[in-house]
Structure formats: C-alpha cells, structure tokens
Amino acid sequence: MVRYIIHADMDAFYAAVEQLDNPELRGKPVIVGGSVEARGVVSAASYEVRKFGVHSSMPMAQAMKLCPHAVILPVRMERYIELSAKIRNIFDSYTAKVEPISIDEAFLDVTDCVKVLGPADHIGRDIKRKIKDEVGLTVSIGIAPNKFLAKLASDLEKPDGFVVITDENKQGILDPLPVNKIWGVGKVTDKTLESHGIRTIENLRRCSLANLRLIVGNCADELLGLAKGVDNRPVETESQAKSISSEHTFATDIKDYDTLRSVVFGQVQEVAQRLRSKGLKAKTITLKFRYGNFRTVTRSKSITEASATTDTLWQACKEVFQKWYNNSGGALRLIGFGVSGLLEENAGQQSLFVNPEEEKQKRVDKAVDAIRERFGEDALRLGE
C-alpha cells in the first residue's frame, strides 16, 4: 500500500515570528540570537539576511560583519512555543498521526485520510493555506511515500515550498543531489565518501554494498537504502511513543556554553508543555549530543517522582547538561532533550504527603499554560 507522508517545516520560524509581530521588520534583514558583546550566535536568520551569507549558529560578530545593518532581536522561546501549538492544532485537525520533530517541523501520515479529504497534495496545500490564514506564517511542505523523502522534499524549494515526490519520480530527484542531502551524512562522512569519488546520491546508489561497507562500516546498508529512496520508518505519534523529545540541528558546529544551554532550556519548556497537554508525566530525562563527526552520545537521569512540571524537568536537565559540559563538552552538530518512562498524570502510587514545592510548580505551570493560550506571549514570560 502506498503511504502518503507530509513533512511540514516552518520557514525561518523564529525570525518569521518576529516579522509577524512587528510588521515594520518585514522585508528587512532580521537576526534572532545572542548579543555580540556576550559572544552570542545566530539562532535564526530571516531570508533577507541570508542573502548576505548569514546563517543559524554563526557567531553574531561574524554575522554583523556580513550584514552590519541587520536587526538583532533576542530569542523569545515562549512566543515561538505559543504559535507552534496553534500550528500543531491545525495538523491535528487533519490527522491523528502527527509526529512533531521540533518546535517548527512535524511529520503527518495522511494515508487513511485521502478517501475522505481528497488527494494528499490537496491536503498539503490546504494545510499551507490554513497556517498562512490562521497563524500568518509560511510553511514548506514535502509529500512523499516515506519520511526521508518527505523531509527532503520540504527542503528543495524553501521558502514557502511545495514539492511532491513519488515512487515514479524519486530517483530522478535524488540522483543529482549531493550525498550530504541524506540524513546522517555529516561533514566527516561527506568528506570520506568524496575521497572515494562518491559525491552525488547517484554515485552512492551505484556503489556496491560490499565496497560501501569498507568505506563507512555498519551504516552502509541504511545509506544505500536511502540513496534508493527506501525508508520504512512509521510516523510515530506521541500517544504511541515511549518518549517525547525535541531536537535542534545547528548549521555549523556549536560549542558556546550559553547558546547550548539556552537551546536546551527552550526544549525543556516545549517538551514539558507537550507532556501536560497530553495529561502525561515522565520518570526519566535524556539529553542527546551529536558531535561534528556524527558521533552521538546520550546522558539520562531518573527523577525521584514522575513529573511534568517545567522546573522539575529543567533542574534534572541542568545537572546532566553541566556534567556533560564539564567532562566531555565539545562542538555539537545537534542537541536534543527528551523524556521517557511516561505515565498518565494520575498514575502510580499517590503519596500521602503532598510535596508543597511540586504542587506550587504545578499551579504555576497550569496558570502559565492558560494565560499563554488565552492572551499570548506578551502576557507572561518564563525565565530560568
């Protein structure tokens, strides 16, 4: 059976939100991130400023040299989370099979919806229209028979893109692309493949499995499958998942402590809100660190009592993050925060004695969620 997978990826999300909230910034080069004085980095760059060579994860000092007249704005994570929730509601109105990847992108499986809602491309265009009309932002849509191709499709014509890849046209689209367009092919793997004359996906596809194993080892089978457009992973909803997480991939490797900590803090807030919206709590937190050479490590910590409060998750996360940074911190290509050991909010043995601090945090989170939902970001902001 043919699957219809949509990958929705918001365009320059943080910067686009700033331009949405302040119309005077529309059409101007906008950078969201830390200050030059604090040796900050670019968290997001509008398409207007990208023309000057500015991109996310670039040191702010370098960005300002490339575009001295750019408008620099601080990260407003709570506002981005607020609009992300509205976008998620739009996704949910089409299908129950939604897999959020981060605050600004998600996979949707609409295979079971086409008989009722019409062809997948009609659904994709309707999603684009709704996000534009109801949220005021543009999204790039990729539609394909699997997750790898859908994600690749959404990136081909950004911003405001719309690309459909089918079993019939997939190889014609894949073959000319550079091999680093494949998930998992970072700078190190890319250079290794290039040293063996493998520069395009077609070069990779025509390489024998035996030879490829000599070059890249155990990941040869997966790479060869992706080069042929094969990816059997299902779209995994949060109700099916054993964990909830958020990840961020940097355009260039980042080592700066404040930048990494700020990104993780935003991820904790996002994951905590998703837990509470689902009536869940978590027993374990996990941080994921992927280095420039694509080596990936995870560090976990169990919480004494399962929780969905932002503060409890952040305190556990800070401890794990600080220990990693002190012992083995390095330049990262990707950082992620997740929770596992999920339980229903009222599941488990209930203590006879209420933890006053935990109850206080629950009330704070409940109030914050309600205020943001009703009045928006400007009504209330979280700090560490």
Active site residue 319: no
Residue 220, domain extent: 171-227
On whether both 153 and 20 belong to a single domain, the answer is: yes
Do both 135 and 197 map to the same domain?
no
pTM above 0.75, yes or no: no
Between the CA of residue 317 and those of 14, 28, 269, 301, what are the distances in Å? Answer: 23, 37, 11, 8
Co-location of 105 and 186 in the same domain = no
Cα–Cα nearest to 103, from 288, 286, 247:
247
- Is residue 8 exposed (0-12), middle (13-18) or buried (19+ Cβ within 10 Å)? buried
Neighbours of 156 (CB within 10 A): 15
Q: What is the pLDDT of residue 27?
A: 94
Residue 327 and residue 264 share a domain: yes
Nearest to 165 by CA among 148, 184, 182: 148
Residues 29, 161, single domain; the answer is: yes
Q: What is the pLDDT of residues 60-82, one digit of tens each?
A: 889 999 999 999 999 888 899 89
Q: What is the pLDDT of residue 352?
A: 39
- pLDDT tens readout for residues 126-179: 999 999 999 999 999 999 999 999 999 999 999 999 999 999 999 999 999 999
Residues 136 and 17 in one domain: yes
**Cβ(338)–Cβ(242) below 8 Å:** no
Residue 113 lies in a domain: yes
Residue 88 belongs to domain with CATH number: 3.30.70.270
The verdict on 62 and 10 lying in the same domain is yes
DSSP 178: B
Q: pLDDT tens string for the chain (384 positions)?
A: 789 999 999 999 999 999 999 999 999 999 998 776 666 778 889 999 999 999 887 888 899 999 999 999 998 888 998 999 999 999 999 999 999 888 899 999 999 999 999 999 999 999 999 999 999 999 999 999 999 999 999 999 999 999 999 999 999 999 999 999 987 787 778 888 999 999 999 999 999 999 999 988 878 898 999 999 999 999 988 666 678 888 888 877 888 888 899 889 989 988 998 888 888 899 999 999 998 777 889 999 999 888 999 999 999 999 999 999 999 888 898 999 999 988 887 754 444 344 555 555 656 566 655 654 544 433 444 555
Note whether 222 and 280 are same-domain residues: no
Residue 384 lies in a domain: no
CATH number at residue 178: 1.10.150.20
Domain count across the chain: 3
Residue 115 domain-assigned? Answer: yes
- Whether 339 and 254 share a structural domain: yes
Catalytic residue among 105, 157, 236, 345: 105
Residue among 296, 268, 311 at smallest CA distance from 77: 268
On whether both 179 and 110 belong to a single domain, the answer is no
